[in-house]
Structure 1
Amino acid sequence: MIKGSFKKLISVLTICILLVVSSGCSGKVAKDVSQETPDLSGHPQVQIEMESGDKMVFELYPEYAPETVSNFVNLVNEKFYDGLTFHRIIKGFMIQGGDPNGDGMGSSDKKIKGEFSENGFTQNTLSHTRGVISMARSQDPDSASCQFFIMHDDQAAPQLDGKYAAFGKLISGEETLDKLADTPVTMDETTGEVSQPEEKVVIKSITLLK
């Protein structure tokens, strides 16, 4: 019974991922370097370092989501994410961040094509299992820009597959992911969801390792 209730809860939360990202809101402006094409040969690796000093390393997969990876790497190179936060944390589901407004409504100045099967992009077969990083978006399939989420649970939301552009996976720092998921949260007054960290969870930097 508990298991079934949890699945229903996750279905509701899946819908909320759509609704908390507004495709029409402004945010941090990208620098001119965002128009450059990064070297995506092999599998780029990025490190997320928290203000606390805790770290996570992700391997990115351009063969599954090339435009998504290119956009993310450009934002990393611009230091777009430095000083931003994880503004939405749901233990057992996912943590979401990368919003310049810090409230789920912000974006960068560039929207990208949704590289997932329900949007006609069939080569992205990455599944939303634990440690997978994926792009948040609004109801518009081509509205992703800078906000991303990291899956916390292996079986939490298979229904995300084909609906969101997964583009990488955690390869180091599982203890950091679990620590972030354990962050005390309170109700978000805008959405009514119990997912807003009681204290800011600050991303010190995201850097390209290779």
Structure 2
Amino acid sequence: MSYDEYLNKENPKVTMKIKDFGVIQLELFPSVAPNTVSNFIKLVQENFYDGLIFHRIIPEFMIQGGRSKNDTPCPIKGEFTLNGHDNPLKHTRGVISMARTNDPNSQTSQFFIMHKNSPHLDGSYAGFGGVVEGIEVVDKIVSQSRDYHDQPYDDIIIESITVDLKGKSYPKPVCYKAAV
């Protein structure tokens, strides 16, 4: 994992409890993608992710979660190089990044955690943190049987996600508003 330079005891720390799999702890990097971090923190504090599943797992690539059937949060501008934002965080094993559609300003709630290094994503997706404990849980999740859509046959449930802000506060995320 090559994001050691961004680790800082003052960064927010996320604890993700995965039913029957264990705990993944992540550190978020507001210095790299501040609006993305604010968006993720807001969703965690609203318990948005609790009960959702990892709906897409691809060995040697990543695990993806955060898709909801309910209201989708407002989209935010993607904080990555292709979109005019200097985000030097590489998509290496353990990095958490935001999923999006082909629209670079369509990040909402879906995230993915890298199982293996994927340099083809660098500069095109907003990496915003990294696993500090529990990478073996990512390995266990990605090894589950899945269908042709890469969805696990058995639900992999996010029981809860909490965040320790280390006594700091973070602004509300800025929603992207397309030019009319």
Say whether the 8 Å CA contact 2:60–2:115 is kept in structure 1: yes
Residue 203 (str. 1) matches residue 158 (str. 2): yes
TM-score by length of 1: 0.72
Which of 1 and 2 has higher RCO (CA within 8 Å, sep 6+)? 2
Match of 2:120 in 1: 159
Say whether the 8 Å CA contact 1:48–1:55 is kept in structure 2: yes
Match of 1:148 in 2: 111
In the aligned structure 2, how far is the partner of 1:185 from the partner of 1:53?
Answer: 16
Shift of 1:209: 2.8
Match of 1:127 in 2: 90
Q: Percent identity?
A: 49
Say whether the 8 Å CA contact 2:96–2:129 is kept in structure 1: yes
Say whether the 8 Å CA contact 1:107–1:146 is kept in structure 2: no
Q: How many residues align?
A: 157
Match of 2:81 in 1: 117
Match of 2:141 in 1: 180
Say whether the 8 Å CA contact 2:21–2:137 is kept in structure 1: no
Q: Which runs of 5+ in 1 are unaligned?
A: 1-40, 189-194
Q: Deviations over 1:96-152 (max 9, x none)?
A: 010013xxxx76221111000000012x10000000000000011000000000000
Structure 1 counterpart of 2:107, which letter? Answer: A
Match of 1:24 in 2: none
Counterpart among 95, 99, 102 of residue 139 in structure 1: 102
| Counterpart mapping for 1:1-210 below 5 A | 42-52=10-20, 54-101=22-69, 108-122=72-86, 124-154=87-117, 157-188=118-149, 195-210=150-165
What root-mean-square deviation, in Å, do the aligned CA atoms of Structure 1 and Structure 2 show? 1.4
In the aligned structure 1, how far is the partner of 2:71 from the partner of 2:119?
Answer: 26
**Larger proportion of helix:** 1
In the aligned structure 2, how far is the partner of 1:136 from the partner of 1:119?
Answer: 14
In the aligned structure 1, how far is the partner of 2:59 from the partner of 2:32?
Answer: 27
